[in-house]
Amino acid sequence: MKTVIQIIFFILFISCKEEKYKYDISNFRTELRPSLKSLLKEKSLPLKDTIARNFIEKNATIGELIKLMHSNNPLLRVIAYKTIVNKEEPEYFDLLTKHLSDTAKVTWWYYEDAGNNFYVSDLMIRKAHDKNGLSPIQKKHLVEKVLIEHPYLKTSTWMIQDINPNEKYYNLIKKRAGLKSGKCGEQLSACFALSKFKKKEDLNLLYEVFHQNIKNEYCITWIFRSIEKYPNDKFFPILENYFNQKIKGKLSAENNIFDEVLYFSRAVAAYKNENALKILKYVEQNNTFINKPAWPPSNKKYVYKAMLINYDKIYDNLIKQIQNEFKKEDLDELGFGRQLLEYDEESDW
């Protein structure tokens, strides 16, 4: 009996969905049809504006664009919504929340040589966000709608790593943190979100995921950022092992230095003890060729930033030493008295 009910529900769901997206080109004004037909020939969402898209944006009314969001072609639905946002129509947010269940897929080439298949609703969310037209209240409402009602959307990964800890999302975040994925960033960004809760019951899970991925250079930054958020003693051996294997004796004039050293230094600095200070001094004292002839050198910049972000008086002497070596304009460029975090760490949601 339960199976029969599920089948009936599924059929009704599909029927309702088909009814929602029912319009074809013949349902639109004659003047718009050639451009709509031209857009239908596209195999993916055009990276740049086309003559057909420009014609639709210039000539379609808001009513026609809303109707086009109910087209039986998902590509046209995305183009319709992008056009509505471009025209700064006030209905754009309500329309977005009403179309979050649109899980048809569209190919989008976000760079000329890089593309993928995305849910229609994911593309709509990105358009509304990229246009910077979402208020803090709208963002909060949208995050709740996505994480509670539509957590399958790819945008949820972006939101989870970005928001402040909130108990109503805790179970979802912890589940994601324990879920292995083909893309380590999805799991480790969830670990980053989980670390913000600073719960002892999550220590073993976080440790295991960190330990399993510490050698993955593509996702190691997430590990360091997570530990910085939750600098528990259980994680310090992970940092010590990384230091011994990847940093000690490896910083020289023959080797480059990358941003992971910055995030490593920040994670270490979060512990605010003598062991942390010892590691930071080593990084600060060992230069690399990328800094020649540039000044100030990256290793000193990284350590300096790490200590300011995770300040403790135990770092005072080292901070003063670096300040004495730098010119005032160098300190200003490093973020002294300004935003110290990296540009991609700014909160989007």
- Residue with the bigger pLDDT between 168 and 253: it is 168
300 pairs with which residues across the strands? none
Same domain for 306 and 247, yes or no, is yes
CB 213, CB 247: distance < 8 Å: no
Same domain for 15 and 43, yes or no, is yes
Could you tell me if residue 226 is inside a domain? no
Same domain for 73 and 37, yes or no, is yes
Q: Residue 339's pLDDT is what?
A: 64
Same domain for 128 and 169, yes or no, is no
45 pairs with which residues across the strands? 108
The secondary structure of 147-196, three-state, reads: HHHCCCCCHHHHHHHHCCCCHHHHHHHHHHHCCCCCCHHHHHHHHHHHHC
Q: Can you point out the beta strands (E) in 204-343? A: none
Q: What secondary structure letter does DSSP report for 208?
A: H
Give pTM, 2 decimals.
0.85
Cα–Cα separations (whole angstroms), residue 277 to 2, 151, 164, 199: 63, 41, 29, 26
Domain that holds residue 205: 135-218
Q: Residue 326's pLDDT is what?
A: 84
Contacts with 292 (C-beta within 8 Å, 6 or more apart), sequence order: 253
Q: What secondary structure letter does DSSP report for 234?
A: G
User: For the chain, what is the domain count?
Assistant: 3
User: What average pLDDT does the chain have?
Assistant: 88
Per-residue model confidence as pLDDT tens digits over 293-340: 566 778 888 999 999 999 999 999 999 999 998 888 777 777 644 567
Same domain for 128 and 16, yes or no, is yes
Single out the residue in 187, 218, 249 at which a domain terminates.
218
Single out the residue in 189, 218, 247 at which a domain terminates.
218
Same domain for 344 and 240, yes or no, is yes
Same domain for 192 and 140, yes or no, is yes
Q: Residue 106's pLDDT is what?
A: 94
Concatenating the DSSP letter of every residue in 91-151 gives THHHHHHHTTT---EEEEEEETTEEEEEEHHHHHHHHHHHTT---HHHHHHHHHIIIII-T
Could you tell me if residue 254 is inside a domain? yes
Same domain for 207 and 241, yes or no, is no
Per-residue model confidence as pLDDT tens digits over 129-157: 987 678 999 999 999 999 999 999 999 99
106 pairs with which residues across the strands? 118
**Helix ranges restricted to H, 21-73:** 33-40, 51-59, 62-68
Could you tell me if residue 189 is inside a domain? yes
Same domain for 143 and 252, yes or no, is no
Could you tell me if residue 5 is inside a domain? no
Q: Residue 58's pLDDT is what?
A: 94
In the predicted structure, residue 174 carries a pLDDT above the cut 70: yes
Per-residue model confidence as pLDDT tens digits over 154-166: 999 999 999 999 9
Per-residue model confidence as pLDDT tens digits over 266-287: 999 999 999 999 999 999 998 7
- Element holding 70 (H helix, E strand): none
Q: Residue 11's pLDDT is what?
A: 40
Could you tell me if residue 2 is inside a domain? no
Single out the residue in 170, 195, 218 at which a domain terminates.
218
Same domain for 157 and 64, yes or no, is no
Per-residue model confidence as pLDDT tens digits over 177-194: 999 887 788 999 999 999
Same domain for 149 and 80, yes or no, is no
Concatenating the DSSP letter of every residue in 323-349 gives HHHS-HHHHHHHTTTS--S-GGGS---
Could you tell me if residue 349 is inside a domain? yes
- For residue 258, the number of C-alpha atoms closer than 13 Å in the C-beta half-sphere is 9
Could you tell me if residue 261 is inside a domain? yes
Could you tell me if residue 224 is inside a domain? no
- Residue with the bigger pLDDT between 17 and 197: it is 197
CB 153, CB 120: distance < 8 Å: no
Same domain for 144 and 154, yes or no, is yes
- Residue with the bigger pLDDT between 9 and 230: it is 230
Tokens coding 99: 């179309």
Per-residue model confidence as pLDDT tens digits over 56-107: 999 999 999 999 999 999 999 999 999 999 999 989 999 999 999 999 999 9
